[in-house]
Chains A and B, each alone.
Chain A
Amino acid sequence: MVGGKNITETPPHQRSVNTVFQSYALFPHLSVRENLAFGLKMRGMPAAERHTKVDEIADFIKLGDLVDRHVDQLSGGQRQRIALARALICEPDVLLLDEPLSALDAGLRSQLQVELLRVQKRLGMTFVFVTHDQQEAMVMSDRIAVLNGGTIQQVGAPREVYERPVNAFVARFMGHDNLYTISARKSDRLITALGELTAEDAGNGELLLIRPETLDLLPGAVEGPNHLTATVAERLYRGSHAEFRLAIGNTTLQATVNNRGRHLPEVGETVTVAVAPEDLVTLHE
Chain B
Amino acid sequence: MSYSGAVPTARSRAMVRETRHLLFTVAPGAFWIFIFLVLPSAYLMGVAFMTNGPYGLPQMPLSLDAFERLAGVGFLGWSPGNLYTLLRSLWQTLVSTVLVVIVAYPVAYYITTCREKWRPILLLLVVVPSWTNQVIRAFGWMNLLAPGTPLSSLAESLGLVAPNMGLYPSNLAVTLGLVYNFLPFMVLPLYAAFEKLDTAQVQAAQDLYASPVRAFWHAVFPQTLPGLLAGTVLVAIPAFGMYVIPELLGGGKGMMLGNLVANQFAGSSNWPLGAAGAILMLIATFIGLFAMRRIGKRLGGGEEVVI
Contacts and interface: CB of A to CB of B under 8 A. Distances in A.
Interface of A: 11-14, 17-19, 21-23, 25-31, 38-39, 42-43, 70, 86-87, 90
A25 B200 contact: yes
Contact of B209 (A13, A26, A27): A13
Interface string B207-224: 111111011001100100
Given A13-B215, A23-B198, A30 B206 contact: no
A43 B205 CA distance: 12
B203 A21 contact: yes
Contacts, number: 67
Contacts of A28: 222, 301
B301 A25 contact: no
Contacts of A22: 200
Contact of A12 (B206, B218, B225): B206
**Residue among A11, A23, A38, A70 facing the most chain B CB atoms (10 A cut-off):** A38
A44 to B, nearest CB: 9
Size band of the interface chain B makes with A: 20 to 34
Given A13-B209, A38-B208, A27 B201 contact: yes
Contacts of B56: none
Interface in B257-307: 299-303
B208 A39 contact: yes
A259 B209 CA distance: 53
B203 A42 contact: no
5 contacts: A12-B207, A13-B212, A19-B204, A42-B211, A86-B208
A38 B218 contact: yes
Interface in B159-207: 198, 200-201, 203-207
A42 B200 contact: no
Interface string B39-81: 0000000000000000000000000000000000000000000
A252 B5 CA distance: 75
A11 B203 CA distance: 12
A25 B197 CA distance: 11
A42 B208 contact: yes
B209 A29 contact: no
Question: 8 closest A-B pairs (Cβ-Cβ)?
Answer: A39-B208, A25-B200, A25-B204, A29-B301, A42-B209, A29-B222, A19-B207, A12-B206
**Residue among B200, B204, B222, B299 facing the most chain A CB atoms (10 A cut-off):** B204
Interface of B: 198, 200-201, 203-212, 214-215, 218-219, 222, 225, 299-303
A39 B203 contact: no
A12 B212 CA distance: 10
A242 B238 CA distance: 73
B211 A25 contact: no
A14 B208 CA distance: 9
A203 B219 CA distance: 54
Contacts of A39: 208-209
A94 to B, nearest CB: 12
B103 to A, nearest CB: 25
Contacts of A90: 208-209
B297 to A, nearest CB: 11
**Residue among B210, B211, B300 facing the most chain A CB atoms (10 A cut-off):** B210
A27 B200 contact: no
A34 to B, nearest CB: 9
Given A27-B218, A27-B219, A70-B302, A13 B211 contact: yes
Contact of A42 (B210, B222, B303): B210
A71 to B, nearest CB: 9
A159 to B, nearest CB: 33
B254 to A, nearest CB: 40
A38 B210 CA distance: 9
B203 A25 contact: yes
Contact of B201 (A11, A14, A25): A25
A25 B302 contact: no
Contacts of A13: 206-207, 209-212, 215
A273 B286 CA distance: 84
A143 B50 CA distance: 87
Nearest to B209: A42
B143 to A, nearest CB: 46
A10 B143 CA distance: 54
B218 to A, nearest CB: 7
Nearest to A15: B207
B206 to A, nearest CB: 5
Contact of B301 (A18, A30, A42, A86): A30
Given A13-B209, A86-B208, 18 more contacts: A11-B206, A12-B206, A13-B211, A19-B204, A21-B203, A25-B203, A25-B204, A26-B204, A28-B222, A29-B225, A38-B205, A38-B208, A39-B208, A42-B210, A42-B211, A70-B301, A70-B302, A90-B208
